Amino acid sequence: MNRRALLRAALAFAPLAARAGQDNAIAAAMNDLAVRPERDVPYGPDRRQRFDAYLPGTPSGPLLLLVHGGAWRGGDKRSAGVLAKARYWTARGYVVVSTNYRLLPEAHPLAQARDVARALAQVQRRASGWGADAARCVLMGHSSGAHLAALLSAEPALTREQGADPWRGTVCLDNPAFDVPALMNAAHDKLYDRAFGTNHAYWRTVSPLHILARDARRVLAVCSTRSPAACAQAQAFAARAGRHGVKVQVEPVDKGHMDIERELGLPGAYSESVERWISSIL
């Protein structure tokens, strides 16, 4: 990477460095200068089927694939929370990838999940060239992105169909829809109608709880205590998974829905807790 590119990378991370404190900022800035970004890597023909990869100077093996939220109809792979996570985990030797996928109304949630699976397959194929281990991969999604990641985790056949291999586990950050029929049969925001429609049979096909397979991936389900419905959904999913012999850990946190995304990767107990869980499955 040339000096101008290094400067751009450092400036991109600068706002986060100010929040981390001077000592942490210096260490983080040194890491930033070693990180090599690869932008808009294609995994399909659509303009949304692209991901960004953040490659550490000294990779230690693991891969972290981030799936943005946005109510299934918005969001982007360079959203506000991505840089904090890229900085935090590249400093620990992870290759961090943030992917886009097609959105409503072009693609419904199940098609979006297949896009993420296709991105996962491409990331795994490129892993060795990045100095990473394709088998030591973790998915992480927020909000609607957490729902898509949970779908793939509940039924890994969806990823095998797209050529992806098994991964170690999934972090779901405040997924509102582990049980889609329960969500849709209760009072709910209209955004869910736009995502899931009115077909009750379809609801079950995009409900992680209802498609849960015995080879489901293990999950860390972070949920906001300020949204009891989200934690109830996570607990229900964990209970069903437990009956299938699948490990799901629910971690309630006293943070708002967007703070769960934005604050992960910033210094503190929250990031450390998620990091410990990820490290434990690698």
51 and 26, same domain (yes or no): no
Distance set, CA 28 to CA 21, 83, 85, 87, 209 (Å): 10, 11, 12, 7, 39
User: Do 18 and 46 sit in the same domain of this protein?
Assistant: no
Supply 163's token pair: 């050529």
pLDDT digits (tens, 9 = 90+) for 115-130: 999 999 999 999 999 9
Least confident piece of the model among 29-38, 53-62, 153-162, 228-237 = 29-38
**Residues 25 and 114 occupy one common structural domain:** no
- Which DSSP helix (H) or strand (E) runs through 185? helix 180-185
> How far is residue 266's CA from residue 81's CA, in Å, rounded to a whole number?
10
254 has a pLDDT exceeding 90: yes
154, 16: one domain = no
- How many angstroms separate the CA atoms of 246 and 156, rounded? 13
Q: What is the mean pLDDT of residues 97-108?
A: 98
- CA separation, residue 261 to residues 81, 128, 162, 244 (Å): 6, 29, 27, 29
Taking alpha carbons only, the member of 114, 115, 111 closest to residue 101 is: 115
Query: For residue 96, what are the contacts with CB-CB under 8 A and spacing of at least 6?
Result: 53, 54, 63, 64, 66, 85, 86, 89, 90
- Residues 136 and 243 placed together within one structural domain of the fold: yes
Tell which wins on pLDDT, 22 or 137: 137
8 has pLDDT over 60: no
Beta strands at 50-55 and 36-42: parallel, antiparallel or unpaired? antiparallel
In the DSSP assignment, the letter for residue 133 is -
Position with higher pLDDT, 229 vs 21? 229
Q: Which of 275, 217, 242 is nearest to 85 (CA)?
A: 275
| Pair 107, 6 in one domain | no
- β-bridge mates for residue 53, sequence order: 38, 97
Report the number of distinct structural domains present in the chain: 2
Band of residue 31 on the pLDDT scale cut at 50, 70, 90: confident
The predicted pLDDT at position 33 comes to 78
pLDDT digits (tens, 9 = 90+) for 128-174: 999 999 999 999 999 999 999 999 999 999 999 999 999 999 999 99
pLDDT, residue 1, reads 44
Q: Which helix (H) or strand (E) holds 273?
A: helix 269-281
123 and 229: one domain? Answer: yes
CA–CA dist 203, 117 (Å, integer): 20
In angstroms, how far is the first alpha carbon of the chain from the final one?
Answer: 30
Domain match, 4 and 48 both: no
112 and 15 both lie in a single domain: no
Q: Do 16 and 137 lie in a common domain?
A: no
Residues 10 and 103 occupy one common structural domain: no
Task: Give the residue numbers spanning the domain of 201.
Answer: 37-281
My answer on whether 175 and 91 are in the same domain is yes
DSSP state of 282: -
Give the domain CATH number at 277. Answer: 3.40.50.1820
